[in-house]
Amino acid sequence: MIFMGHFLHQHDHVSHSVSPFWIRLSSQYWSGVDLFFVLSGFVIFLSLNRLKARLRPLGVMRSYFISRAFRILPVYSLLLLSYFYIPFNNRLMNSDLFISSVPSQVYLFFGQSWWCAINHRAGAPYVQPTWSLCAEEFLYIVILLMVCFIPQRHLLKAMATAAIISVVLRIYTVISGGNLVGAYLLPPWRMDGFMLGAIIAVVYSKDQLAWVNTRVLNWLVALLAAVFVAMTYSNVNLYGRFAITVGYAFYAVFFSAIVIRVIKGRFRFLEKGPLAYVGTISYFVYLFHFPIVYGMSHLNVHSVVLNLVLTLGAVIGAATVSWYTLEKPLIDRGKALNAASTLSDVLPVAAGVRQ
């Protein structure tokens, strides 16, 4: 969704050859980030829950941070190195792709969203997608503290409260005439999707999703999909008051319903095949697609469809190389480090269980 939205808007900006129909059809491409938040909350909680079942709190934290670092930092570091290096060493690349009012060092600490929101300034398009990593890092810490220090019986209440706080913050921002861009970028304003994903994971881990009626769920998903189509037709602006007060919460609920439906069924095309592979390499695709889309949009190719095929091939190809040469080896290395470092934590816990 995000790739297609950026491709169509960038290509139309350069050549003005994209039909208004396709621009309108992709108007809600930005909601792909909301889907990402829901999925992330679901997966991260399950990971933490498994760690807590066999490790002490300090062991959970150590293992969690090791796995997150080996997953997040390699590709992010590669993106920042290219962002710092290319314009410094090649004057031909000093284009609007690199224009930014955000100090470069801010990106080293995942602070770009905070900087942009507080200073009402925009970051460089080259690293534009990284704003969501700021939200992710914040939410990683919040969910870790919840799992480690909030009793299990209060966990759902804490997650629901965090989600409600986000909605209240956004509504208050709109009513008070506050920073609408900040309501989109700042992590505390974007917790609801992540927390709904985590709530689904809690219920799923307790085997309590069986009570959900599949037929009713199908109708709910269909109804929400119809609303999604209506929002697409209305071309809802991601920074608009309607999106902030209603849209973000709607997408959190919509994608949560889809996640529950997927859990309750067997969708083999999500387990194997091209879409599953795109999921495997999606982190690189997300972070690096915009610079590639930008560069390919300036090729002397008159056909939008041909340019799309070439651009998609370049993105998937680069992501494949990254996965097999950088990401997968380092993820495996992180798992090996975790296996070695957590052994001392597992043994005392196992001994306590035996006693």
The pLDDT of residue 193 is above 80: yes
With 0-12 / 13-18 / 19 or more C-beta atoms within 10 angstroms meaning exposed / middle / buried, residue 330 is middle
Q: Quick check: 48 and 62 in contact, CB under 8 A? A: no
Q: Please provide the average confidence, as pLDDT, over all residues in the chain.
A: 90
**Residue 344: band (very low, low, confident or very high) from pLDDT cuts 50, 70, 90:** low
- Helical pair 191-205 and 152-175, crossing angle rounded to 10 deg: 160
Average of per-residue pLDDT across 182-194: 95
pTM of the predicted model as reported, rounded to 2 decimal places = 0.91
- What are the DSSP calls for 169-230, one per residue? HHHHHHHTT--HHHHHH-GGGGHHHHHHHHHHHHHHHTT--TTS-HHHHHHHHHHHHHHHHH
Question: Which carries the bigger pLDDT value, residue 342 or residue 207?
Answer: 207
- Per-residue pLDDT tens for 100-137? 888 888 999 999 999 988 888 888 889 989 999 999 99
Question: Which carries the bigger pLDDT value, residue 12 or residue 41?
Answer: 41
- Per-residue pLDDT tens for 219-241? 999 999 999 999 999 999 999 99
Residue spans of the domains in the chain: they are 2-347
The pLDDT of residue 269 is above 90: no
**Residue 272: band (very low, low, confident or very high) from pLDDT cuts 50, 70, 90:** confident
Q: Quick check: 320 and 338 in contact, CB under 8 A? A: no
Q: Quick check: 138 and 187 in contact, CB under 8 A? A: yes
**Residue 54: band (very low, low, confident or very high) from pLDDT cuts 50, 70, 90:** confident
- Per-residue pLDDT tens for 275-328? 899 999 999 999 999 999 998 988 888 888 999 999 999 999 999 999 999 999
The pLDDT of residue 33 is above 70: yes
The set of residues, in sequence order, having a beta carbon less than 8 Å from that of 36 and lying 6+ positions away, is 132, 286
- What are the DSSP calls for 84-136, one per residue? HHHHHH-GGG-SGGG--SS-GGGGGGT-HHHHHHHHT----GGGGGGHHHHHH
Which range, of 16-25, 284-293, 344-353, averages the lowest pLDDT?
344-353
Question: Which carries the bigger pLDDT value, residue 156 or residue 338?
Answer: 156
The pLDDT of residue 88 is above 90: no
- Per-residue pLDDT tens for 142-174? 999 999 999 999 999 999 999 999 999 999 999
Query: Comparing C-alpha atoms, which of 338, 43, 71 is closest to residue 346?
Result: 338
The pLDDT of residue 355 is above 70: no
The length of the chain, given as a count of residues = 355
Which range, of 12-16, 21-25, 140-144, 174-178, averages the lowest pLDDT?
12-16
The Cα-based distances of 325 to 10, 84, 278, 280, 289 in angstroms read 30, 22, 16, 14, 18
**Residue whose tokens read 């095949």:** 273
Average of per-residue pLDDT across 269-274: 86
Residue 298 per-residue DSSP state: T
Q: What is the reported pLDDT for 330?
A: 96
The Cα-based distances of 79 to 11, 92, 127, 289, 322 in angstroms read 22, 19, 8, 11, 11
The set of residues, in sequence order, having a beta carbon less than 8 Å from that of 75 and lying 6+ positions away, is 283, 284, 287, 288, 322, 326, 327
Average of per-residue pLDDT across 79-107: 79
Q: Which of the given ranges, 14-18, 90-94, 117-121, has the highest pLDDT on average?
A: 117-121
